[in-house]
């Protein structure tokens, strides 16, 4: 059952080959066995999970009435600890929220609960989703299941490690500048960031509101399609949620790739990419040509400005969003203080980690009087140029492909002393968020070095092209087996 797809798990549950309680117990036992080594989960509640599994078994048996049962009913799921879940501790990987218990469900959590999925627990993450390595969590770093001396990527590293180690069949993540795709690449998974606004941000603790987007992380594109069917949809509680007709994102999975035009940005294939990553990506592109696709070079001339633009816009929005954590209403409050201002200062100084403080300081600076026009406004203009570059490129191709990350998973501490080098880990993913486009990463091989670590291929589509991207990924996964590989130590 560990390597079964969500479709196969659904069939096994429907045919009574296994019960949801048995399936949930299998994964809870694996969490108990492997999580002390990986630190992928912050919170696990066996009793709550088994109660939900028992309720799912009742629905599957028809005891709950004649209503149609979701194909995801009874399947276990892990949530990134950025999504509020009623009665569950929701920490955002921070001391600031270390003891916060959410009083309501995020929209995404509501949707999966309604589908009958069983929540196993909450996954570790970079503090307030700020990081590319999962080293900034207050609860300690997450280890990569392929090599526990290496990072799993971030900020959704706990979700990625949990699925890669088969501690959960699937998980949710969030992507602000690559935080689903980059850890998916480093852990050998499929991860999808939908078009901005397709998945509601209600109940998802905010980092950068114009960039944050929730999405699925799983073994395959088919699994991600089923998960996106459940988690997408209009939510009036989120002003950025898009009111669109309901889609079946699995509808085009079997479509032929004959005639597909793949755009290869010149800017993505220059210097800075590791040789092992380049070889795996080029081999994947050769496979796509065998499947009937053609490749064409395209230009994204402003993509080299995406990292500096992002690290103006995202910290500015973070500075605003995190101002609510002041020690007054909820969250960490300093034990000793002289007056109200001292309480604010000490509570925030104690509650936030170094990376969060760094971004708050940068954000406050670029929004301050005299610097707004010089930095923030200019970054927003660059953002518009980046979106225009993608629009022009998609006139010449159907999807864009390239590496998800410039390297495979790196050792702990390798980049933590140099924030700029850490930020460059997202050099291929950030532009997609700035443009609000959908993007995904799929496993496409290994770097053939020691240790042999996974490589991710990034697929980017025009706005609302998720079904097409999932088709492109699925046909590749039918022809290859990279997405089925499992870390040896986790077997």
Residue from 10, 132, 179, 347 carrying the catalytic annotation: 179
Query: How far is the C-alpha of 165 from the C-alpha of 142, rounded, in Å?
Result: 12
Query: How far is the C-alpha of 141 from the C-alpha of 134, rounded, in Å?
Result: 6
Residue from 155, 159, 220, 441 carrying the catalytic annotation: 155
Sign of the dihedral through C-alpha 196, 322, 127, 360? positive
Omega within 30 of 0 (cis) for the link into 451: yes
Sign of the dihedral through C-alpha 369, 370, 371, 373? positive
For 310, what's the count of Cα atoms within 13 Å in the CB-facing half-sphere? 28
Angstrom distances, CA of residue 245 to CA of 45, 215, 216, 248: 36, 18, 20, 10
Encoding tokens for residue 354?
Answer: 């170094």
DSSP strands (E only) in 273-407: 294-298, 399-403
Q: In what order do the strands lie in the sheet with 76-80?
A: 41-44, 118-123, 76-80, 170-175, 213-218, 190-193, 439-446, 454-460, 399-403, 261-265, 294-298
Q: Catalytic site residue 179?
A: yes
- In this structure, what are the phi and psi dihedrals at residue 400, rounded to the nearest 5 degrees? -115, 140
Task: Choose among 155, 146, 143: nearest CA to 181.
Answer: 155
Encoding tokens for residue 221?
Answer: 């594109």
Q: Catalytic site residue 210?
A: no
Residue from 20, 80, 132, 346 carrying the catalytic annotation: 80
Contacts of 16 (CB under 8 A, 6+ apart): none
Task: Choose among 478, 472, 474: nearest CA to 261.
Answer: 472
Task: Choose among 406, 352, 439: nearest CA to 136.
Answer: 352
Q: Catalytic site residue 54?
A: no
- Give the catalytic positions in this structure: 80, 155, 179
């Amino acid at each position: 059952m560990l390597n079964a797809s969500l479709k196969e798990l659904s069939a096994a549950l429907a045919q009574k080959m296994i019960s949801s309680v048995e399936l949930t117990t299998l994964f809870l036992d694996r969490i108990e066995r492997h999580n002390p080594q990986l630190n992928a989960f912050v919170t696990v509640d066996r009793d709550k999970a088994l109660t939900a599994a028992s309720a799912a078994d009742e629905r599957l048996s028809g005891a709950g009435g004649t209503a149609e049962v979701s194909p995801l009913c009874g399947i276990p799921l892990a949530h990134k600890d950025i999504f509020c879940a009623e009665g569950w501790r929701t920490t955002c990987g921070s001391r600031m929220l270390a003891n916060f218990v959410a009083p309501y469900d995020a929209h995404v959590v509501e949707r999966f609960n309604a589908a009958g999925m069983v929540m196993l627990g909450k996954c570790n993450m970079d503090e307030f989703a700020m990081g590319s390595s999962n080293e900034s969590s207050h609860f300690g770093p997450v280890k990569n299941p392929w090599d526990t001396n290496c990072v799993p990527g971030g900020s959704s590293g706990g979700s990625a490690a949990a699925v890669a180690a088969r501690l959960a069949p699937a998980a949710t993540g969030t992507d602000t500048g690559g935080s689903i795709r980059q850890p998916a690449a480093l852990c050998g998974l499929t991860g999808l960031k939908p078009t901005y606004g397709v998945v509601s941000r209600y109940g998802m603790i905010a980092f950068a509101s114009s960039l944050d987007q929730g999405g699925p992380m799983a073994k395959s594109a088919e699994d991600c399609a089923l998960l996106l069917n459940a988690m997408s949809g209009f939510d009036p509680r989120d002003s950025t949620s898009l009111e669109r007709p309901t889609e079946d994102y699995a509808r085009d999975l079997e479509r032929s790739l004959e005639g597909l035009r793949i755009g290869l940005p010149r800017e993505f294939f220059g210097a800075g990419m590791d040789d092992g990553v380049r070889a795996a990506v080029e081999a994947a592109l050769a496979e796509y040509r065998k499947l009937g696709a053609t490749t064409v070079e395209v230009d994204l001339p402003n993509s080299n400005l995406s990292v500096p633009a992002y690290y103006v816009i995202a910290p500015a929005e973070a500075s605003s969003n995190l101002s609510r954590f002041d020690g007054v209403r909820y969250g960490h409050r300093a034990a000793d203080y002289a007056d109200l201002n001292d309480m604010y200062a000490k509570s925030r100084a104690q509650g936030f980690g170094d990376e969060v403080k760094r971004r708050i300081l940068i954000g406050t600076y670029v929004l301050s009087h005299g610097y707004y026009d010089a930095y923030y406004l200019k970054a927003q203009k660059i953002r518009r140029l980046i979106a225009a570059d993608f629009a022009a490129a998609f006139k010449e191709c159907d999807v864009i492909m390239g590496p998800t990350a410039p390297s495979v998973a790196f050792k702990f501490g390798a980049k933590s002393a140099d924030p700029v080098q850490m930020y460059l880990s997202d050099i291929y993913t950030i532009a997609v968020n700035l443009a609000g486009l959908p993007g995904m990463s799929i496993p496409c091989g290994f770097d053939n070095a020691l240790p042999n670590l996974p490589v991710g291929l990034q697929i980017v589509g025009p706005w609302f092209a998720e079904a097409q991207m999932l088709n492109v990924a699925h046909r590749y996964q039918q022809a290859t087996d990279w997405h089925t590989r499992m870390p040896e130590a986790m077997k």
